[in-house]
Amino acid sequence: MKAKVHDILTKVYGHHQFRPGQQELVEGLLEHMDVLGVMPTGSGKSLCYQIPALLFPGTTLVISPLISLMKDQVTSLKLRGISAAFLNSAMEEAEYRETAYQAAGGAYKILYVAPERLQAPGFLEMCRHMDIPLVAVDEAHCISQWGQDFRPSYLKIPEFTAALSKRPVIGAFTATATPRVRKDILDNLKLEAPVTVTTGFDRPNLSFSVYSPKDRDKALSDLLRDRYRQSGIIYCATRKNVEAVCSRLDGEGFSVTRYHAGLEPDERRRNQEDFLFDRKRIMVATNAFGMGIDKSNVSYVIHYNMPKSLEAYYQEAGRAGRDGCDADCILLYAPQDVITARWLIEHSEPNPDLTPEEQAQVREKDEERLKWMTFYARSRKCLRHDLLRYFGENAPDSCNNCSNCVPDCEHVDITTEAQMILSCVARTKQQYSDDVVVQLMLGVLPYPPPEGINPAELTTFGLMNDFEEGNIREIIRALLDQGYLEKDDDSILKLNRQSEKILFGKQRAAMRRGLRNRRDITGEDLFQALQKLRYEISSKEYVAASALFSDSTLRDLCRILPKDKKQLAAVDGMGVFKANRYGDQILRVIHLFKPAAPGKRKEKKKTGSRIPSKEGSFAAYRDKVIEAGSTEAYQPWTKEEDQQLIREHESGKTTKELSEIHKRTAGAIRSRLKKLGLV
Ligand code: ADP
Ligand code: MG
Ligand code: ZN
């Protein structure tokens, strides 16, 4: 059996190994034991019941609270070659009947249903005639009044399973369960001596921050500008805020869409798809958006308002970084939020299934949760510590990866990075804004092209192409803050005396915060080409881009550069089915870009040995700088060299000739001549 399980994991899912907790839960179910899996969002709970479902005879029922996400989950299973379907009230009658007919005949290995189905006439009858070895209860916290998404129909699950011809094995799964909720799940679902697995709630790749900016809108725009090429979610407390924030960001030129319950279903679906398919980078939404949305490449979740509870916060924030890449969870807090949250609690729709006493209880619990949320927003201690403790976990006092820990951590030396940027500013004649300089550092040509110089010929062009854009911006901001760089009235970056100290190695620059997010990239070009291919497939086949391949799978492709379908299938997240289906297209793209990625720019450059080479490019560069004892990025002109240059210029030599004599780029020569007042 173990071999079979592993076979499915690698062949069907394309994963090399189980993540923490998965194996115990899969094996428990396969031994016909009930299980309870409490694992954070993104940790891979689906696989825990799906693998047993494939190995059991008959059809596994998955009870899942949200109709809107069933389709995605089923699509994602079909993409792995698994027969699956869903039944819910939102379906056309004919479609429902056909699916139910197929299901009754045992056509599906996995059938998703909403909890309300269990009480629908005919459904139980149908299930009694089916072979149902396993009932998986997803988002099991919905069964508890202490959970933030209490769904009374979840309470009917034990009745339903007891009425089946044979009691199935029951697996319960949730991401957010405080100890009280955990107890409710065990009791209310009537789990029998379950194998319980609680994996750490900690998501080390998430960085937590709380800011209380004076101007929230400005703070938000700044945060987004740093993340221009990334995808993220902004949560607002009210529909009104969603509308206002979305239209303001749209006006500022961001790629943004919105989602809240007040929109027409058609528009909601369209907007959600725009975001899932990467047609829009930013989703501004109320908490109506996101439950179970499997978009793995969300790089940040910003809360424009404080939510009502830490459960809600952690769940929403946890939608960032599901691909395992570094991601930011940022809460923008203002005291006014507490008042809004309290108002929302007081005016929430009463649940018609609850008695007045129960209603009052629920409200009281809401108040208490809000208190803890506020406590977090004002905390001066490690935010990760606060969160984990709230969910009943022990945690170290400091994590070095949250906004309360980071001020204590060491400064990072950014001298070399600063030299790269400052010399780029110098060589491009101090005529560009930070936006353009960032592009140049990444190796993107500005449009329209500038007159007089060809940035692609400069040694600084593409020098930081193994950095994240946000990172470069962060460094530029630090340089501006510390006075090593200036911005004129037109937002053009200018050098000053201080800059020279850094450039000539007389002073070192440092910055708070680690240099996060630098990724192992063979070529950003290939990554972007693969993203484009994914986008094309996702548009054509109407599947969410991240359900096809996650960003981390694409990164792995760039790193591993598979040569054939067999190697392709072994890449994490790929699997045999997808490798066969899309292999030709993917391999073609890799083939096209592979040889070009590292070498391409080198050939274009005249003096080019400074584009980082493939491995450890940046480190190698830094070593070279340190070895040379000065900055490679900007070799200062000596007086002698200046005099020689003047003589040669006056003797009528062309820039090209000068460039060869001085072993400097034409741009550098022109810039020096200008400085000397000769052109
Ligand atoms: P959850 O339901 O716990 O929030 P999902 O089941 O939706 O999480 O899985 C989240 C992501 O993790 C998916 O993209 C999935 O492909 C990936 N994943 C799951 N298990 C593994 C594994 N063993 N190795 C690598 N990736 C995995
Ligand atoms: Mg899930
Ligand atoms: Zn911390």
Pocket test for ligand 1, best of 7, 10, 13 (most atoms within 8 A of CB): 13
335 pLDDT band (50/70/90 cuts)? confident
Which strand (E) or helix (H) includes residue 251?
helix 239-251
Residue nearest (by alpha carbon) to ligand 1 atom 25: 15
322 touches ligand 1 (CB under 6 Å) = yes
How far apart are alpha carbons 513 and 373 in whole angstroms? 25
Distance 63 CA to ligand 2 centre (A): 11
Tell me the backbone φ, ψ of residue 75, rounded to 5 degrees: -60, -45
| Residue 548 in contact with ligand 1 by CB distance below 6 A | no
Which ligand is in closest contact with the Cα of 574?
1
- Residue-wise burial string across 581-619, b where 16 or more C-beta atoms lie within 10 A, e elsewhere: bbbeebbebbeebbeebbeebeeebeeeebbbeeeebbe
* C-beta 44 within 6 A of ligand 1: yes
pLDDT 10s digits, 187-213: 999 999 999 998 878 888 899 999 988
CB 103 within 8 A of CB 70: no
Helix axes of 524-541 and 551-560: crossing angle, nearest 10 degrees: 130
CB 475 within 8 A of CB 417: yes
Find the angle CA(21)-CA(22)-CA(24) to the nearest 5 degrees: 70
User: How far apart (Å, rounded) are the C-alpha atoms in residues 532 and 567?
Assistant: 21
Question: Among 54-63, 218-227, 411-420, 632-641, which range has the highest average pLDDT?
Answer: 54-63
260 in ligand 1 pocket by Cβ < 6 Å?
Answer: no
Exposure string over 257-272, b if 16+ CB within 10 A, otherwise e: bbbbeebeeeebeebb
Q: Is the CB of 139 under 6 A from ligand 1?
A: no
Interhelix angle for 415-427 vs 434-442, to 10°?
110
Q: What is the rounded average pLDDT of the residues 215-240? A: 90
Q: Are 24 and 195 in contact (CB under 8 A)?
A: yes
Q: Which atom of ligand 1 is nearest to the CA of 318?
A: 4
Residue nearest to ligand 1 atom 5, measured at CA: 44
CA 190 – ligand 3 centroid, Å: 38
Which of 14-18, 292-296, 630-634 has maximum average pLDDT?
Answer: 14-18
pLDDT of 620: 44
Question: Which of 15, 319, 554 has most ligand 1 atoms within 8 Å of CB, for mutation?
Answer: 15
Q: Confirm or reject: Cβ of 41 under 6 Å from ligand 1.
A: yes
Question: What length does the chain have?
Answer: 679
Q: State which of 49, 74, 322 you would mutate to test the pocket of ligand 1, scoring each by most atoms of that ligand within 8 A of its C-beta.
A: 322
Mean pLDDT over residues 613-636, rounded?
Answer: 40
> Is the backbone of residue 114 left (phi > 0), alpha (psi -120 to 50) or beta?
beta
Q: Is 79 exposed, middle or buried (0-12, 13-18, 19+ CB in 10 A)?
A: middle
Pocket test for ligand 1, best of 23, 39, 45, 47 (most atoms within 8 A of CB): 47
Compare 659 and 516 and report the one with higher pLDDT.
659
Least confident of 87-91, 113-117, 255-259, 536-540: 536-540
User: What is the C-alpha radius of gyration for the chain, rounded to an integer number of angstroms?
Assistant: 29
Tell how far the Cα of 324 is from the centroid of ligand 1, in angstroms. Answer: 10
* Ligand 1 nearest atom to the CA of residue 546, by list position: 14
Cβ atoms 231, 282 nearer than 8 A: yes
Mean pLDDT, residues 423-427: 92
Of 47-56, 334-343, 492-501, 643-652, the range with the lowest mean pLDDT is 643-652
Give first-to-last CA distance, the chain, whole Å. 79
319 to 175, 338, 387, 392, 514: CA distances (angstroms) = 11, 23, 16, 21, 23
Is the minimum distance from the CB of 60 to ligand 1 under 6 angstroms?
Answer: no
Q: What is the pTM of this model?
A: 0.56
> By alpha-carbon position, which residue is closest to atom 12 of ligand 1?
44
Tell me if 337 sits within 8 A of 222, measured CB to CB: no
pLDDT above 60 (res 338): yes
Q: Name the more confident of 129 and 604.
A: 129
Residue 633 has pLDDT above 50, yes or no: no
Query: How sure is the predictor about 513, in pLDDT bands with cuts at 50, 70 and 90?
Result: low
Matching residue, tokens 């199935």: 168
In terms of Cβ atoms closer than 10 Å to its own Cβ (0-12, 13-18, 19+), residue 130 is middle
Q: What is the mean pLDDT of residues 375-382?
A: 90
Kindly give the residue spans of alpha helices, DSSP state H, lying in 379-504.
383-390, 415-427, 434-442, 469-481, 497-503
Question: Which atom of ligand 1 lies nearest, measured to the CA of 46?
Answer: 6
Over residues 59-75, mean pLDDT: 89
Q: Which two tokens stand for residue 103?
A: 């299901």
The H or E element that residue 211 is part of is: strand 206-211
pLDDT at residue 286 in the model: 96
Of 154, 82, 70, the C-alpha closest to 118 is 154
The average pLDDT across 235-254 equals 96
Average pLDDT over residues 638-658: 82
CA dist., res. 289 & res. 202, Å (int): 23
Please tell me the distance from the alpha carbon of residue 364 to that of residue 346, in angstroms, as a whole number. Answer: 10
Tell me, using a 6 A CB cutoff, whether residue 426 lines ligand 1. no
Work out which ligand 1 atom sits closest to the CA atom of 47. 6
pLDDT of residue 521: 35
Average confidence (pLDDT) over 216-223 = 90
Nearest CA to ligand 1 atom 17: 44
Using a 10 angstrom Cβ sphere, with 0-12 exposed, 13-18 middle and 19 or more buried, the burial of residue 131 is: middle
Which class for 19: exposed (0-12), middle (13-18), buried (19 or more C-beta within 10 A)? middle
**Residue 319 beta carbon below 6 angstroms from any ligand 1 atom:** no
| Whole-number Å distance between alpha carbons of 149 and 298 | 23
Please, how many CA atoms are within 13 Å of residue 458, restricted to the half-sphere of its CB? 33
Tell whether ligand 1 has an atom less than 6 A from the beta carbon of residue 173. Answer: no
User: Does 538 have pLDDT greater than 70?
Assistant: yes
In the reported structure, the alpha carbon of residue 397 is separated from the centroid of ligand 3 by a whole-number distance in angstroms of 7
Q: 42 in ligand 1 pocket by Cβ < 6 Å? A: yes
More confident residue, 578 or 560: 578
Give me the mean pLDDT over the 398-415 stretch: 73
3-state class (DSSP) for residue 217: helix
Average pLDDT of 644-658? 84
CB burial of 25-54 (b: ≥16 within 10 Å; e: otherwise) equals bbbbbbeebbbbbbbbbbbbbbbbbbbbbb
578 lines ligand 1 (CB under 6 A): no
Residue 638 is encoded by which pair of tokens?
């000596």
Q: How far is the CA of 642 from the centre of ligand 1 (A)?
A: 61
Nearest-5° Cα angle at 123, 118 to 125: 120
Going from the Cα of 407 to the center of ligand 3, the distance in angstroms, rounded, reads 10
> Phi and psi dihedrals of 376, rounded to 5?
-60, -45
- pLDDT category, 636, cuts 50, 70, 90? low
Q: How many CA atoms lie within 13 A of 8 on its CB side?
A: 19
Q: How far is CA 363 from CA 177, 374, 513, in A?
A: 19, 17, 40
How many Å apart are CA 181 and CA 161, to the nearest integer?
21
Atom of ligand 1 nearest to the CA of 17: 23
Q: What is the pLDDT of residue 551?
A: 85
Query: What are the angstrom distances between the C-alpha of 167 and each of 30, 156, 332, 409, 427?
Result: 15, 15, 48, 55, 75
The residue type at 102: Q
Task: Find tokens 């591993």 and name the residue.
Answer: 560
Q: Whose CA is nearest to atom 9 of ligand 1?
A: 44
pLDDT tens, residue by residue, 285-325: 999 998 767 788 899 999 999 999 998 999 899 999 888 88
Q: Looking at the predicted structure, is the pLDDT value of residue 8 above 60?
A: yes
Check whether 412 has a pLDDT greater than 80.
no
| Ligand 1 touching residue 47 (CB < 6 A) | yes
% residues pLDDT > 70 (the chain): 90
Best mean pLDDT range from 51-65, 86-100, 221-235, 481-495: 51-65
The finding on whether 40 has its CB within 6 A of some atom of ligand 1 is no
Phi, then psi, of 188 in degrees rounded to 5: -70, -35
Provide the 3-class DSSP secondary structure of residue 450.
Answer: coil
Rounded Cα distance, 490 and 651, in Å: 38
* CB-ligand 1 contact for 294 (6 Å cutoff): yes
578-615 per-position pLDDT tens digit: 999 999 989 988 877 654 333 233 333 332 233 333 33
Task: Find the 294 Cα to ligand 1 centroid distance in Å.
Answer: 9
Over residues 100-116, the mean pLDDT reads 95
Interhelix angle 310-317/383-390, rounded to 10 degrees, is 120
Q: Ligand 3 centroid vs 563 CA: distance in angstroms? A: 42
Judge whether residue 516 has pLDDT over 50: no
Cβ of residue 46 lying under 6 Å from some atom of ligand 1: yes
- Ligand 1 proximity of 54 Cβ (cutoff 6 Å): no
